Structure 1
């Protein structure tokens, strides 16, 4: 009787193990398919996007940066752009951490991402009128990518001081200017 019970128990265990291995294989295949799908998405850079910067009427002291995917592949706008206000800027504008979205903004060809730029605040120090804005995209590790794109600021320039910040990339202009 013991031999029959052990054989039945071993057979049942083998079925459970086989089912578990099959499940792991299915999950691994799904992860591979997911990774393959994600691999077709590239990082947005100045080479595969068109960048524009415009002045907005509200909120005051703000500009709107727009990045439109001009490539043929879907691209991810990671984190926030590195912005250099003026040719002599020593450091990029600070990122407004409270604007971090829940997910990376992914752009199909022709779609746009937006970043709001606070140029100055009465709380800031120093400052001056700058005529250009240097833009670098970031990769998934928050490092700069590709070449800098230099944009002319609207109306011949904008005043920037130490309080200047930029939002993370947003899927729409309203969210980029809501902070």
Structure 2
């Protein structure tokens, strides 16, 4: 005798309404409007300053390239030390910091001058200086010569100061 099986009724649960997944906000270049800059003398290496960029905003931002640095409104921009290129762009979550070293002078280098403040611009993705500069008073006395340089942004002070 053959058994007849009744067709199974599939009970379909009502389709769950999929909530739209919010896209995370796009990470933008850090700007002086949502960050703060500080400059401090360091014990080692000698003739160096440490520039600290802190994200004071509510969203992450990218510290692209190197800061543009000008001493005392001079017409020349301080050169970037190319050997300091990091492996990746430094991403700053709110409250995080990035660091760049400023080499002031070389022993036996060209005759220098005393400077009183530094102005610094941040860069966009195309590594162009953008926005308004932050102008910071320098520790007294600060001596700089034509061998001065700035490093790319780094994720720790130690990485910035190894150059």
TM-score, normalised with respect to structure 1:
0.76
Q: Is the 8 A contact 1:114 1:172 kept in 2?
A: yes
Question: 1:6-62: per-residue Cα shift (whole Å, max 9, x none)?
Answer: xxxxxxxxxxxxxxxxxxxxxxxxxxxxxx65x611111111111100000000000
Determine if the alignment matches structure 1 residue 152 to structure 2 residue 117. no
**Count of residues paired in the alignment:** 142
* Structure with the larger strand share: 2
Separation in structure 2 between the aligned mates of residue 177 and residue 159 of structure 1, nearest angstrom:
18
Separation in structure 2 between the aligned mates of residue 73 and residue 119 of structure 1, nearest angstrom:
33
Determine if the alignment matches structure 1 residue 103 to structure 2 residue 88. yes
Question: 1:132-167: per-residue Cα shift (whole Å, max 9, x none)?
Answer: 00010011111111101100001x241111100000
Separation in structure 1 between the aligned mates of residue 144 and residue 107 of structure 2, nearest angstrom:
11
Query: What displacement does 1:126 show?
Result: 3.2
Separation in structure 2 between the aligned mates of residue 140 and residue 127 of structure 1, nearest angstrom:
33
In structure 2, what is the equivalent of residue 122 of structure 1? 107
Determine if the alignment matches structure 1 residue 167 to structure 2 residue 151. yes
What's the Cα RMSD here? 1.5
Q: Is the 8 A contact 1:63 1:116 kept in 2?
A: yes
Unaligned residue ranges in structure 1 (runs of 5+)? 1-35
Separation in structure 1 between the aligned mates of residue 110 and residue 90 of structure 2, nearest angstrom:
32
Q: Which has more radius of gyration?
A: 2
Secondary structure (helix, strand or coil) at the match of 1:126 reads: coil
Separation in structure 2 between the aligned mates of residue 124 and residue 80 of structure 1, nearest angstrom:
24
Question: 1:74-128: per-residue Cα shift (whole Å, max 9, x none)?
Answer: 00000000000112x1121111110100110000000000001100113532320
Secondary structure (helix, strand or coil) at the match of 2:158 reads: helix
Q: Is the 8 A contact 1:81 1:136 kept in 2?
A: yes
Determine if the alignment matches structure 1 residue 133 to structure 2 residue 124. no
In structure 1, what is the equivalent of residue 160 of structure 2? 176
* Structure with the larger helix share: 1
